[in-house]
């Protein structure tokens, strides 16, 4: 199949965006029927006299937005679009709009809730960040708990729960936090949420009326940046180094709200030392500010004893703690939580009621039983051993295969970062080329990270190792080495 595309190198729109827009319009105009194969990326790149990477990135966007789909190694094929759906899509100059159509961004698809493409479109060896091992889910115990609950009590299935969360689960969470993270909270300081992202939304909306400015790590977690960027408040990005957020760069203006990931900075993996944690608390006290501590994967620390959370050092004054069971039990449960100073709990409970009438009873009750019966602690101990072995395998394979790689953030959590050496291909290029070989590694811009600078650094690759076994990790690193060697040979 030949495609007639016209690219303008002088346009303000990138070549990748031009390829995407023109192929998309051809599909929507019906010139390419469902099931038609797109030209191979190498062939189209040669015809257009552009880099293959330009065409590959455009094809990836077409696939991500559902216009085409890969069929094994056969190539990309046009997906069927119903006539009713076509009526909802604005196309080219014939579109009827309520205003100008913004120019399509040339940035790769940013995704923080799952692997790009999702489901069956994942690479064979996918180092996506923060994915739990499906085989590690405690299915037998979970099934027994669910069956037991349904035999004992069914009235709650037809009734609403407390919007703050099931009391038994809030008590279980507070008990676990006091024991494992030294966070001295009671159940009436805990709000159960739909994952960690809603916990961040809850805290921000609770405090926004009394916040004059926002402070955030740079680079940071994409989900937090989306919340902050949606406001009209001034944002102060604070640079991070090998010890996390650089506290000396924090503004001295009163009434700030700071987002920070001190235990395992996302995405670099840095662990904030005690001196900086204390400096953060002094800053909050001196400037009458508040801190949101995102402790997203703190259950997994491999080198050294568990760290006291920032909220544990604070003693319930100025730190709001956001946590999740997505990494430790499973993201499919959609259960997270936020803890807060007791002064704010009543208002937070009312705000949560406006957001939703609470989480599903069955999952909350099952998780409470899972924690209270001691299964959660045993589950964490087993997962730490499994994930540590996979971390060790990845580190050993990278160091054995590449010359003295600079690896960051491997002491805890579920991912580490490889800081590429000078002269390497860009992280995005490696990501695209590796995906063609069935290997999913991610540049910061595609790995749920965000930078407030003009461009996200493109010299770091993110490896989430928790969902891959040792054999898959070894094969993937060998595949990367072979690919990079071939790229270097071709110049």
Regarding whether 385 and 369 lie in a shared domain, the answer is: no
Residue 392 confidence (pLDDT): 95
Q: In CATH, what number is assigned to the domain containing residue 448? A: 3.90.1150.10
pLDDT recorded at residue 301? 87
Please state, rounded to an integer, the average pLDDT across all residues of the chain: 86
pLDDT for the residue 105: 40
> What is the extent of the structural domain holding 61?
15-106
359 shares its domain with 391 = no
Final residue belonging to a domain, choices 307, 340, 373: 373
406 vs 268: CA distance, rounded Å: 12
pLDDT at 332 over 80: yes
CATH of the domain at 158: 3.40.640.10
Residue 164, pLDDT > 50, answer: yes
Of 313, 342, 373, the residue that ends a domain is 373
Q: Are residues 349 and 439 in the same domain?
A: no
Give how many domains the chain has, as a whole number.
3
Average pLDDT (59-81) is 85
Same domain, 50 and 180: no
Question: Global pTM?
Answer: 0.74
Does 305 lie in the same domain as 411? Answer: no
Task: Report yes or no on 112 lying in a domain.
Answer: no
Judge if 449 and 366 occupy the same domain: no
The answer, yes or no, to whether residue 183 has pLDDT greater than 50, is: yes
Q: Does pLDDT of 113 surpass 70?
A: no
Q: Find all residues with CB under 8 Å of 485, minimum gap 6, and list them.
A: none
Question: Is residue 190 in a domain?
Answer: yes
At 118 the pLDDT is: 44
Residue 170, in any domain of the structure: yes
Q: Are residues 273 and 156 in the same domain?
A: yes
Q: What is the mean pLDDT of residues 133-151?
A: 91
pLDDT band at 430; cut points 50, 70, 90: very high
In tens, the pLDDT along 224-268 reads 999 999 999 999 999 999 999 999 999 998 999 999 999 999 988
361, part of any domain:
yes
pLDDT at 1: 61
Range picked from 31-40, 52-61, 278-287 for highest mean pLDDT:
278-287
120 inside domain: no
Mean pLDDT of the region 362-371: 95
Domain end (from 331, 353, 373): 373
Residue 7 belongs to some domain of the structure = no
Residues 251, 157 share a domain: yes
pLDDT at 491: 66
The answer to whether residue 410 sits within a structural domain is yes
Q: Tell me, yes or no, whether 64 and 185 share the same domain.
A: no
State whether 258 and 312 are in the same domain: yes
Which pLDDT value is given to residue 10?
A: 81
What CATH number did the domain enclosing 82 receive? 1.10.10.10
Assess whether 191 and 90 both reside in one domain. Answer: no
Q: Does 231 reside within a domain?
A: yes
Do 367 and 382 reside in the same domain of the chain?
no
């Amino acid at each position: 199949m030949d495609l007639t595309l016209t690219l303008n190198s002088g346009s303000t729109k990138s070549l990748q965006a031009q390829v995407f827009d023109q192929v998309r319009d051809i599909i929507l105009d019906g010139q390419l029927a469902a099931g038609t194969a797109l030209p191979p990326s190498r062939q189209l790149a040669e015809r257009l006299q552009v880099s293959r990477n330009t065409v590959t990135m455009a094809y990836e966007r077409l696939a991500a937005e559902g216009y085409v789909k890969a069929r094994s190694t056969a190539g990309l094929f046009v997906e069927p679009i119903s006539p009713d759906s076509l009526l909802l899509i604005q196309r080219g100059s014939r579109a009827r709009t309520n205003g100008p159509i913004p120019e399509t961004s040339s940035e790769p698809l940013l995704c923080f809730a799952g692997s790009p493409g999702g489901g069956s479109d994942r690479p064979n060896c996918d180092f996506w960040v923060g994915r739990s091992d499906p085989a590690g889910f405690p299915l037998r115990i979970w099934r027994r708990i669910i069956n037991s609950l349904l035999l004992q009590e069914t009235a709650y299935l037809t009734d609403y729960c407390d919007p703050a969360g099931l009391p038994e689960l809030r008590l279980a969470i507070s008990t676990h936090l006091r024991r494992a993270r030294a966070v001295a909270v009671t159940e009436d300081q805990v709000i159960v949420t739909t994952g960690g992202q809603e916990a961040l939304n809850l805290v921000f909306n609770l405090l926004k009326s009394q916040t004059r400015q926002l402070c955030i790590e740079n680079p940071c977690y994409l989900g937090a940046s989306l919340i902050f960027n949606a406001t009209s408040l001034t944002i102060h990005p604070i640079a991070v180094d090998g010890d996390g957020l650089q506290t000396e760069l924090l503004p001295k203006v009163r009434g700030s709200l700071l987002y920070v990931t001190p235990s395992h900075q996302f995405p670099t993996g840095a662990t904030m030392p005690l001196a900086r944690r204390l400096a953060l608390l002094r800053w909050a006290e001196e400037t009458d500010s508040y801190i949101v501590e995102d402790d997203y994967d703190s259950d997994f620390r491999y080198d050294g004893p568990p760290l006291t959370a920032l909220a544990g050092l604070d003693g319930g004054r100025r730190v709001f703690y956001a946590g999740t069971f997505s990494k430790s039990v499973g993201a499919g449960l959609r259960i997270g939580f936020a803890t807060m100073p007791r002064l704010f709990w009543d208002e937070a409970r009312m705000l949560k009621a406006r957001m939703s009438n609470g989480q599903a009873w069955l999952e909350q009750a099952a998780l409470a039983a899972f924690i209270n019966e001691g299964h959660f602690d045993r589950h964490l101990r087993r997962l730490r051993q499994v994930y540590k072995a996979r971390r060790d395998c990845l580190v050993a394979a990278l160091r054995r295969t590449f010359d003295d790689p600079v690896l960051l953030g491997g002491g805890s959590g579920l991912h580490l970062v490889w800081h590429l050496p000078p002269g390497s291909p860009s992280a995005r290029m490696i990501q695209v080329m590796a995906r063609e070989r069935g290997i999913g590694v991610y540049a910061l811009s595609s790995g749920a990270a965000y930078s407030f600078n003009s461009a996200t650094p493109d010299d770091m690759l993110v490896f989430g190792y928790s969902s891959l076994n040792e054999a898959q990790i070894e094969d993937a690193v060998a595949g990367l080495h072979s690919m990079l060697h071939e790229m270097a040979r071709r110049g």
